[in-house]
Amino acid sequence: MLSQFNQFLLNFSLLITSLLFAFLPMRNISRISPNSSIRIRLAVGLIASIIGALLVLNSISYDGAKIDLRLVALVTAYYYGGWISGGLTTIAIIGARFLVTPPGVYQGLILATLICLALLVTASIYRRFAAQTFKDYLILLGIGIGYSLPALYLLTDTFMRFLEMAFVYIIFNLLGGYVTFRFLRELRKHFQFVQTQQELALTDSLTNLANRRKLDETLADYDKHGYAFSVLIVDIDFFKSVNDEYGHDGGDVVLRQLSHLLATFAPEQALVARYGGEEFVVVLPDIAHREAERIGERIRTACADQHFVFKPYPPFHVTLSMGVASSDQGKTAFEVVQLADQALYQAKQTGRNKVVGYAYS
């Protein structure tokens, strides 16, 4: 029995290692379930198929039986991807079982095929009455084990050898299922934590807009790919007087309310970032210079008409000055921002509360 334990440990190690590397490409998907898109479920099925086939190809030969953790791969595929993922994994497992079957000895192959198909049908029926919980995962795994034990009995030479192998088989499949389920859950939590930290590193904490780092990364990417774009640099007029009259808390309220206004009036594909202090940058991909000026004018007008609220003070107004430049005016994206900044300076010097485009040279 010790040798069987050692061989199962190798199969178990193969399962966990394969899961770690195979699911890395799916780390940014927030939730995977039988209701996910077909593309995601096909990807889950492909991953589980590879893992299931590897487990079968490295299975333990015991009399006429091939013992491994393929049930864990199949149940996991169905649990996360439904019948599409489960069906792909079933085909892969049957194919791998055919490859390890000696010519003329097809009893084990036939039984393995029947077990996989029976489990797939049972899982499809069971899903109508179950949720996606750990209990349901274990029930499906237990059903698969129940289907496998009669086949294991038929393929072993004696009842004692069947009991010996059944004990190892049940223990390792339950252990493999438990560890797989917990491993994938913890892996998902880890990926979500890393993604959250990455998003926080690129987000301004006060306004929830993109921060300077995100802006620089975007501009560098535009330079790399040669994208056409325009830029608005937005500055709040006389923001110091807002802080003086309403305090820094009032100033923060203005920044947050203005951030919401910018995000609302900017096109969906635009990047709205806090540039620093009371300045903001709106990057407008595939927007020509004149259209960018019109977008800036709509934002300026909406801000001038908006009532900014900071209790217990009465509602008040703020105005904006803006500079506009486009990618055909500068050699690099960062130079375009500098040109927009020059246009902003001109807007401030000529009366504020206006949108000024950088003059074409």
Catalytic residues: 278
> Burial letters for 114-153: b for 16+ Cβ neighbours within 10 Å, e otherwise?
ebbeebbebbeeebeeeeeeeebbebbbbbbbebbeebbe
* Per-position DSSP letters for 24-83, written without gaps between them: GGGTT-S---TTS-HHHHHHHHHHHHHHHHHHHHTPEEETTEEE-SHHHHHHHHHHHHHH
Q: Read off the DSSP letter of residue 316.
A: B
Number of residues that make up the chain:
361
Q: What are phi and psi of 218, to 5 degrees?
A: -65, -45
Q: Which amino acid is residue 203, in one-letter code?
A: T
Q: Which amino acid is residue 197, in one-letter code?
A: Q
For tokens 């029995």, name the residue: 1
Token pair of 248 as six digits: 């820094």
Q: 330: helix, coil or strand?
A: coil
Separation CA 286–CA 226 (nearest Å): 11
Separation CA 253–CA 247 (nearest Å): 10
Q: 275: helix, coil or strand?
A: strand
Give, for 119, the enclosing helix (H) or strand (E).
helix 107-126
What is each CA distance from 180 to 148, 295, 329, in whole angstroms? Answer: 20, 52, 56
